[in-house]
Amino acid sequence: MTRLLNNKAIPVILFLALALVPLYSSVFDDRFVLLFATRILILALAALSLDFILGLGAMVSFGHAAYLGLGAYAVGILAAHDIWDAWISFPVAILVSAIFAAITGAISLKTRGVYFIMITLAFGQMAYYTATSLSAYGGDDGLTMWGRSEFFGTDLFANDTSFYLLVLAILLGAYALLKRIAASRFGRVLKGARQNEARLHALGIDPFGYRLAAFVIAGVLAGIAGALMANQTEFVSPAYMSWHRSGELIVMVVLGGLGYLHGAILGAIAYLMLEEVLSGYTQHWRLIFGPLLILVVLYARGGILGLIKGRAK
């Protein structure tokens, strides 16, 4: 009963706290908090999409940041051609991410284990080096956007508070969608394939199509996160696609609690806040963060959510 209560209460408390950030920023006139929280929400969306395939289907994608970069470049390249309408740029970002996820997923899902990890890494790096070769769009230096996308001519993206609330609404919608999918027959097939694929085949169910569909859904959500990131920073860089970023997303998922979708959001908050605090003391903050993460993995099974639930018992 306690566990059920926690599973329902934690995401409600989490999203309510996130909804209060603009109020805090307005009362204390602290624009940095609002911008920093927006960045957290965007990366939380990317981590959430990864947790969907990693926690539910045991698909360890080490090239997930490629979709983040593809979504960002879709917005950036269209902006370079003076196309600022979000109703054009965001569907393009979704389409490009979906096509890339469908093609790479169809190939990657033919493999298992470490081979799956390596082939997703290879596809991610392929996207990264392709972006660095786009000299017309900045190449290694990235692409600067001289503004944000327009929403029927309004300043929805330009206004920091409105943009934050938009990102929060998208994150909440993505979370609700993935929770619904996880509880459906589709989600049960993914869980079954993770636990015993041979038994599913014996029942006449081929999990390949389900895994591929999940892979595409995750890629699309990460692509939307990339499109949002391009708008927030008004800059697009190949670094968005690097394997380092993919590794950071995996760390966020593990840190928050693998398999719990709101755990990915908690993990993104914890990771970026630790980065902000520790980097204020030393540029070698990862030397401190690394051992902390090891301690969490060793002694806090289930990440931050595991700690919370352990104390609630």
pLDDT tens per residue, range 84-94: 999 999 999 99
Domain count, the chain: 1
Cα 265 from Cα 158, distance rounded (Å): 25
- Identify the three-state secondary structure at position 165: helix
**Does residue 302 lie within any of the structural domains?**
no
**Does residue 23 lie within any of the structural domains?**
yes
- Mean residue pLDDT of the chain comes to 89
Contact 246, 47 (CB under 8 A): no
**Does residue 10 lie within any of the structural domains?**
yes
The candidate with the shortest Cα–Cα distance to 36, out of 21, 51, 19, is: 21
**Does residue 310 lie within any of the structural domains?**
no
pLDDT in tens, 68-84: 999 999 999 999 999 99
Cα dihedral 104, 107, 110, 115 sign: negative
Full-model pTM: 0.93
Amino acid 1: pLDDT: 43
CB neighbours of residue 171 within 10 Å = 24
Full residue range of the structural domain in which residue 15 is found: 2-243
pLDDT in tens, 1-10: 445 445 678 8
**Does residue 182 lie within any of the structural domains?**
yes
The DSSP-derived string for 166-234 is HHHHHHHHHHHHHHHHHHSHHHHHHHHHHH-HHHHHHTT--THHHHHHHHHHHHHHHHHHHHHHHHHHT
Task: Give me the mean pLDDT over the 151-168 stretch.
Answer: 86
pLDDT in tens, 199-208: 887 878 888 9
263: number of CA atoms within 13 Å, CB side? 28
Amino acid 194: pLDDT: 84
Q: What would you report as the CA-atom Rg of the chain, rounded to the nearest whole angstrom? A: 19
Question: pLDDT class for 309, splitting at 50, 70, 90?
Answer: low
The candidate with the shortest Cα–Cα distance to 266, out of 173, 175, 167, is: 175
User: Is it the case that residue 312 has pLDDT exceeding 60?
Assistant: no
How do beta strands 143-144 and 235-236 pair? antiparallel
Contact 53, 218 (CB under 8 A): yes
Provide, rounded to the nearest whole percent, the portion of the chain with pLDDT above 70. Answer: 96
The DSSP-derived string for 24-81 is HHHHTT-HHHHHHHHHHHHHHHHHHHHHHHHHTT----TTTHHHHHHHHHHHHHHHHT
Q: Which residues contact 256 (CB under 8 A, 6 or more apart)?
A: 47, 51, 262, 263, 264, 265, 266, 267, 268, 270, 303, 304, 305
Q: Which of 130-144, 159-173, 249-263, 295-309 has the lowest mean pLDDT?
A: 295-309
User: Is it the case that residue 40 has pLDDT exceeding 90?
Assistant: yes
**Does residue 33 lie within any of the structural domains?**
yes
Residue bearing the bigger pLDDT, 239 or 197: 239
**Does residue 196 lie within any of the structural domains?**
yes
